[in-house]
Amino acid sequence: MHEDRGEESDEERADAEQQQCRLLHQALRQAARTRLDDETRALAATDLSLVFSTALEGPLQTRAQVTGGGRSVCFCEAQLLDSAQRTVARAMGTFRYQRGGAVQR
């Protein structure tokens, strides 16, 4: 039985972590898509690394950028920021562009 002491349950923490992962993954994908001339071209994550550094406060926002890559692979980084603009999590991802369309340089 769970006593309500005003603390987050394990399930609530897991839900919050999943939401943070989704936000970071979406930001990484959007950054990788900025290099494509065809927005519908398939994109597959081949590697994803997440690092959580501190507790969250208030609404969250993400920032992401492309850090490298070539014709078929793109490397990206993203930060999850809290309401005080502190980085509370970071992500690094590698994405493979599927055949078709061109990559913008």
As a whole number of angstroms, the distance between CA 98 and CA 105 comes to: 17
Over residues 17-43, mean pLDDT: 90
Query: pLDDT for 34-85, tens place per residue?
Result: 988 877 888 999 999 999 887 777 789 999 999 999 989 999 999 999 988 9
Largest CA distance in the chain: 57
